[in-house]
Amino acid sequence: MNRISVSFMGLLCVLSGCTSHAPKPTEHTADARVSLGQTPRRFSIAASDARVALDAFSRQAHLQLLFDARELKGRTTQAVDGKMEPLYALNDILKDSGLRFAWVDEQTLSISPEPAHP
pLDDT at residue 106 in the model: 87
pTM, full prediction: 0.70
pLDDT at residue 35 in the model: 55
Q: What is the pLDDT of residues 11-34, one digit of tens each?
A: 434 443 433 333 333 333 444 445
With beta carbons less than 8 A apart as the criterion, state whether 90 and 101 touch: yes
With beta carbons less than 8 A apart as the criterion, state whether 112 and 54 touch: no
pLDDT beneath 50, residues of the chain: 1-33
- Dihedrals phi, psi of 39, to nearest 5 degrees: -80, 110
